[in-house]
Each structure stands twice: as structure tokens, then as C-alpha cells.
Amino acid sequence: MDKLLIRGGRPLAGEVEIGGSKNAALPALAACLLTDQPVRLKRIPPVRDIGTMERLLAWTGASLQIEGGEVLVRAGSLENPEAPYDLVKTMRASSLVLGPLLARTGRARVSMPGGCAIGARPINLHISALEALGARITQSHGYVEAEAPQGLRGAEIRFDRITVTGTEDVIMAAVLAAGETVIENAAREPEVQDLALLLTKMGAQIEGAGTPTIRIQGVSRLHGTEHVIIPDRVEAGTFMIAAAITAGDLRIRDCVPEHVHALTLRLRQAGTEVSEEGPCTLRVSARERLRSADITTEEYPGFATDLQAQFTALMATAQGIAIVTETIFENRFMHVPELARMGANIRLEGRQAIVAGVAELAGAQVIASDLRASASLVLAGLVARGETLIDRVYHLDRGYERIEEKLAAVGADIRRVQ
Ligand code: EPZ
């Protein structure tokens, strides 16, 4: 199993290029199942979750041509509208194929995702919304089985709580349903907007993506198109924090500054300089020890839960006490005991972490528990005295493209060991 070995203490300097968004590419790949015509997706990040989604599409009967960052999907006929347990257990976002398979073939069978390191993560909201669109859904032997032999019909759906992949799943079902669907309390994340843009290029009629109310007029069929995936805001945010935590100076290229605005505000509050150098470039630099800043995770445009662990690592080395409140997932503090092994002073109280910054972290052997927790350990390792060895790096590989190469290119002493 791969590990990362980091020798901390080097300020990062230089330029980093941000790749395509994993969480936008996953629904975009699922959306390709909605048409029998070829769809070409560009800037698909070569990370492990994407490989899982590609295998899932192939399993259902689609053919894929993968070259560099491009994927050409042809979902001519889908003999096997199913997401089997072996794929779903490694990637919960597999439930994103439920809506498209149902809309396209009138049936779908998707393994129920179990719990994961960050919380229970049920898909009850996806299921009740698809039922509102007329699907008959049963659950047996660990699978959700959905049927709509006469096709889906538009409906008014109000999510009890905001769900990102739930909103995406239902949009993909509704674009081929008869009549109008209105989704209230929809997720406003950039990834939802990117999906709506792709579907619109495929001939769907969608209004309001990026707002809490999305209106969809169903059409009878969709066609092929080309689409470039948006930059990964979590990767961009992780490198912004890398610049801040190492008192470095990084240019983050190919990002969308607006997508990381909530992080920018908190970094500035902590004493980091963040400036826009052109429409797609951010420059992030810090000179001295930062001050504490509180964060509360929220749905977009609030502070992203996917950057909470990384910001917690930053606060572990800042001056003063920071309160980190996690409102999206119930168990997203698995990085805290590992950061404590590196000398961080963090107390957990329910959904809050009370982080008392220390002057110095010390390298240690630590274990990655989930994707973003792993990133926080890398960040802590970059600034810790001595060597940090991070085990179970496969979590990191699920969502970050060559992170150690990108970090090494801007001056980090980091390498992968077996
Ligand atoms: C998406 O997960 C992202 N994944 C996650 O990114 C991200 O952390 C999360 O949104 C929140 O921003 C993808 O886009 C592939 P939710 P998703 O449904 O859609 C509860 C990463 O590190 N809920 O918005 O699964 C749920 O338990 C990952 O890249 C229900 O109760 O998250 C959670 O508490 C991890 N019932 C809250 O809603 C449901 O049916 C928000 O979850 C669905 C969700």
C-alpha cells in the first residue's frame, strides 16, 4: 500500500495548475447515459473515483474511449441498468446513475450505499423525489430497484434538506420526464450548475440552476455534445491553504475565484494575502504566523465541508483559538485525532472542533481516513518539523490528481513510498 513521506518546513512558491472538478465530472459522466448519441467530456481528472464511474458506465452497456483528459461516451443501448455492490461500496456517488438509468430505460437497480467515514449518508431524498416523478421503488437484498415502465412525469419536489447529488440525480431524471418538474430547496453548488449546462447542450430545458428553485421542461430525447468540466474548487482551495500554512507564495492557475470566495474571506481574516490576477488565477501568500478565524460549513456559497479538514489543519498552527463547526456531515472530524498525534491541540465537542493553535507541529506516522482528511494531514506534514508518514494514501488518490507531484514542483519535500 502506498504511503506519502513528507519532510516539513519548506515554504511553497511557484505556480500550480488546477484540474477538472471530480464532483462535476461524476454527474457529467452519469448524464452521458441519457442519450444514445456520443458525448465528449473534456478536462476529466484522472483520479480513482472517476475510474470507478467509468467502469460503472461500461458495466451498464456504454462504451468509453478514454484519452488524456478526454472521455467519449457512447451509450447506444444499456442492457444492464445496474450499479453493483462492488462499485458502489468504493464510491457512494455511484447512486448518481439511478436517475439517468431510470429516465432512459424505465428501470434501474442500484446497490444501497452503506455508511462511510464521514457519516451515514443515506439516499432517502433521492428515492422520495424519484417516487414523486412516478417511479415505483422497492428495496431488497441491499439494492434499490426502481421502475417506471410508462416513463416518468414531471412533479413539484421540495427537498427537506439540501442535497448535492440528490439534486443532480433528480435533474437527470426530470429532463426526460413528461411535463414540468420544479425542484425547491435545490443545491446551488457550481457542480449542479455545470451539470445543467451540459444537459442544456444536450437539448434539455432547465432554468434556475444555481438558485434554490430549478424548473425543468421534459423533452422526449437528448442528443450528443461536447463539454469542458469546470475546475476543481476543492483542489484549488487545498493549494490555497498549502500556500498559507507554509508561509509560501503560490499562483493558483485555471481556477474560478468566485467558487472559493468563502475560503478567500476566511484566509484573509487569518492574515493571508489573496489577490485575483486575472479571471482564472489567484495569488495566495503569507509571511508570518496566521491568526485564528472561525468557520462554519454550509452549502454553497457558504464555506465548503470539503475544505473543513484542510482549514482545521491551518488553524492548528495559527495564533489563538478557532471554532470549526461542521453542519453538513455528522462525523467529519476523523482527521482531528491524527492531527493531535502531530502535536495539534484540538478538542471535539459534538459538531465543533475547538482548535487552539500551537507554534509548531511535529512530524509523525498518521493514517488517512477519508479523502479530505488525508489532504489535511498532507498540509500539516508540509509545515511540521521532521518527517510525516501518511498511510492509506488511496483515500487521497480518490480525488486528487498527482498531488505529491504538484506539491513537489512548488518546493515541497514529498514523495510516495511503498
Ligand atoms: C456531495 O456529496 C459531494 N460528492 C461531497 O464531496 C460533498 O462533501 C457533499 O456533496 C456536500 O457538499 C459529490 O458531489 C460526488 P449531500 P452528497 O447529499 O451529494 C444528507 C468529497 O470529498 N442526506 O449534499 O452525497 C447527508 O447525509 C465529497 O469530494 C440525507 O439525509 O452530499 C448529508 O448530511 C465527500 N439524505 C447532507 O444531506 C439523502 O438522501 C448533505 O449531503 C441525501 C443526503
CATH topology of domain 22-228: UDP-n-acetylglucosamine1-carboxyvinyl-transferase; Chain (3.65.10)
DSSP for residue 410: T
Q: Is the CB of 119 under 6 A from ligand 1?
A: yes
In 95-213, at which residue ranges do the beta strands (DSSP E only) sit?
Answer: 107-111, 136-140, 143-147, 156-158, 180-184, 205-207
Fold match between domain 3-18+231-417 and domain 22-228? yes
pLDDT tens, residue by residue, 189-233? 999 999 999 999 999 999 999 999 999 999 999 999 999 999 999
Mutate to test the pocket of ligand 1, among 53, 121, 128 (most ligand atoms within 8 A of CB): 121
Query: Mean pLDDT across the stretch 369-396?
Result: 96
Q: Assess contact for 361 and 380: CB atoms under 8 A.
A: yes
| C-alpha to C-alpha distance for 152 and 134, rounded to whole angstroms | 5
Question: Could you identify the atom of ligand 1 that is nearest to the CA of residue 370?
Answer: 22
Question: Could you identify the atom of ligand 1 that is nearest to the CA of residue 234?
Answer: 29
pLDDT at 63 over 80: yes
Q: And the C-alpha cell for 161?
A: 434538506
DSSP for residue 290: P
Q: And the C-alpha cell for 125?
A: 431524498
Q: Is the CB of 306 under 6 A from ligand 1?
A: yes
Q: Is the CB of 400 under 6 A from ligand 1?
A: no
Q: Is the CB of 371 under 6 A from ligand 1?
A: yes
Q: And the C-alpha cell for 321?
A: 483559538
Q: What is the pTM assigned to this prediction?
A: 0.97
Query: Mean pLDDT across the stretch 341-349?
Result: 98
Query: If pLDDT is split at 50, 70 and 90, which confidence band does 116 have?
Result: low
Domain ranges (residues) in the chain: 3-18+231-417, 22-228
CA triple 353-407-279, angle to 5 deg: 85
Question: Could you identify the atom of ligand 1 that is nearest to the CA of residue 372?
Answer: 22
SS3 category, 227: strand
User: 65: Cβ–Cβ under 8 A, 6 or more apart, which residues?
Assistant: 71, 72
Q: Residue 93 C-alpha to ligand 1 middle, in angstroms?
A: 9
Residue 275 β-bridge partners: 283
What is the DSSP pairing of strand 387-391 with strand 156-158? unpaired
pLDDT at 114 over 80: no
The class that CATH gives domain 3-18+231-417 is alpha beta
User: 217: Cβ–Cβ under 8 A, 6 or more apart, which residues?
Assistant: 154, 179, 180, 205
Return the residue matching grid coordinates 502506498: 2
